[in-house]
Amino acid sequence: GFNKPHSVAYALVAYQTAWLKHYYPADFMAAVLSADMQTTDKVVVNIEESREIGLTISPPDVNRSEYRFVPDGEASVIYGLGAIKGLGEGPIEAISKARREGGPFEDLFSLCERVDARKVNKRAIEALIGAGALDGLVPDSLKQVESPIDHCRALLLANYEDAVKLAEQKARNQDSGHTDLFGMDMMVGGDNARYNHFDTLSCLSFKERLQRERDTLGLYLTGHPLDVYKAELRHLAKTRIVELRPREEQTVVGLIVAMRTMKNKKNETIAFVTLDDRSGRIEVSVFADLYEQNYARLQKDQVVVVRGSTDRDDFTGGIRMRASEVFDLQQARERSIKRLQLSLSSSALQPDFVAELVDLLAPFRGAPGQGCPVSIAYLRTDAQAEVVLGDSWRVTPADDLLERLRDRYGPETVKLDY
């Protein structure tokens, strides 16, 4: 009959698949990722699975990547250029052809000069930068030690329009038989001669880098939005998602990676939110009254703090949660934080320090009796002192304020005391 041969065929395919995944995980997952690379949601799931089985997903690289995902040794997979949004087979084939004919690209200007500009335009170059595919075209000597990836991509973004224009000019000159000496200097100069705009260069923020990755890849590849809150998470939530057990009252912090809504019998909206805290994921049910109070902060890619009761999920075999309270990060801070502390050395206390600090804090001053105190710790090798600002300078501990303070005085100078 039909059933037995059908079952045998399925069993054989299942055995072969399991064997390949176990003994050749990089080759297997590269094939799986390539098969679904036009569907971002499936790529995200497959990358998570790859990481769970111990594989490293290397960012796309114009000097190493192919159109599809390819294995790189036994424990690594190189991201396929075909999975970058804003590219297509035409630009990728032009890049691959130039690389086959002339070897690896030396820098951004070399790339723009050698590829067919009719196929690889400014939009495609910007997508490659956002995805991290051009990181290898900036020499280490030009990268800031503190944040090399963010500085590298900022440098590429500042120079890619110049590189495209110079490549187009060179192509026109070759067609007409003319030579542009100044343009040629830029195309053949040393590393420092090629790249420009150092005086006005502003390093990308961590969030901007991740957002550009999300826009071009559909996922975060070199970091996670929760990374910036790492020091705070242990204060806001005592338990990670992977540590949750059934029938407990717990608080978790996570990034909303998926959400669906439905109507109940009373035509009220119920939400089912998937939270990710890097240790694991959990689906949280948010019933009508709570959803109505919090729908504005229950949005994809937002970080939220959720308190609720856990139970066994009979369908998945994992843990699910029913929310009783939902806070955004700022609300959670305001409930728990004792003070915001600035630790500054004498070099930061310039004559305009007070006026500058007033300008930074003023937009975030809380209403009377609200917000958190601000203290300034003055540190010297031979002495230290602390000044607590008055109640009229209590502030709302918003991300924007913390980012501005860190940008001005350094990431290690800003501390939230819980």
Enter the tokens of residue 98: 């130039």
Mean pLDDT of 375-403: 92
Cα–Cα dist 162/305, whole Å: 45
HEC profile for the chain? CCHHHHHHHHHHHHHHHHHHHHHCHHHHHHHHHHHCCCCHHHHHHHHHHHHHCCCEEECCCCCCCCCCCEECCCCEEECCHHHCCCCCHHHHHHHHHHHHHHCCCCCHHHHHHHCCCCCCCHHHHHHHHHHCCCHHHCCHHHCCCCCHHHHHHHHHHHHHHHHHHHHHHHHHHHHHCCCCHHHHHHHHCCHHHHCCCHHHCCCCCHHHHHHHHHHHHCCCCCCCHHHHHHHHHHHHCCCCHHHCCCCCEEEEEEEEEEEEEEECCCCCEEEEEEEECCCCEEEEEECHHHHHHHCCCCCCCCEEEEEEEEEECCCCCCEEEEEEEEEEHHHHHHHHCCEEEEEEEHHHCCCCHHHHHHHHHHHHECCCCCCECEEEEEECCCCEEEEECCHHHCECCCHHHHHHHHHHHCHHHEEEEC
- Whether the CB-CB separation of 371 and 394 falls below 8 Å is answered with yes
Is pLDDT of 42 > 80? yes
Mean pLDDT of 268-291: 95
Report pLDDT digits (tens) over 246-256: 999 999 999 99
Instruction: Answer with the residue of higher pLDDT: 61 or 207.
Output: 61
How crowded is the C-beta side of 100, counted as CA atoms within 13 Å?
Answer: 7
Within 10 angstroms of residue 102's Cβ, the number of other Cβ atoms is: 13
Give pLDDT, residue 41: 82
List the chain domain ranges: 3-217, 228-332, 337-417
Is pLDDT of 191 > 60? no
Is pLDDT of 341 > 70? yes
How crowded is the C-beta side of 268, counted as CA atoms within 13 Å?
Answer: 10
Q: Which of 57, 114, 53, 109 is nearest to 83 (CA)?
A: 57
Burial of 313 from C-beta contacts in 10 A (0-12 / 13-18 / 19+): middle
Is pLDDT of 103 > 50? yes
Partners of residue 284 on adjacent β-strands: 273, 321
The 10 Å CB-count burial string (b at 16+, else e) for 46-68 is: bbeebeeeebebbbbbbebbbbb
Mean pLDDT of 259-280: 94
Phi, psi of 208 (to 5 degrees): -65, -40
Is pLDDT of 193 > 60? no
Cβ partners under 8 Å of residue 302, min gap 6: 255, 256, 328
Q: Band the pLDDT of 272: cuts 50, 70, 90.
A: very high
Enter the tokens of residue 71: 């294995």
Report pLDDT digits (tens) over 203-214: 898 999 999 999
Phi, psi of 139 (to 5 degrees): -65, 150
Domain 228-332, what fold?
A: OB fold (Dihydrolipoamide Acetyltransferase, E2P) (2.40.50)
Give the strand pairing for 249-263 and 303-312: antiparallel
Instruction: Answer with the residue of higher pLDDT: 194 or 133.
Output: 133
Cα–Cα dist 85/69, whole Å: 15
* Residue 357 vs residues 95, 330, 354, 410: alpha-carbon distances, Å: 49, 21, 5, 14
Is pLDDT of 184 > 60? no
Report pLDDT digits (tens) over 352-377: 999 999 999 999 998 888 899 999 99
Give pLDDT, residue 189: 46
Measured over the CA atoms of residue 107, residue 113, residue 116 and residue 121, the dihedral's sign is positive
Indicate the average pLDDT of the chain.
Answer: 91
pTM passes above 0.75? yes
Q: Which of 125, 123, 130, 101 is nearest to 111 (CA)?
A: 125
Cα–Cα dist 172/169, whole Å: 5
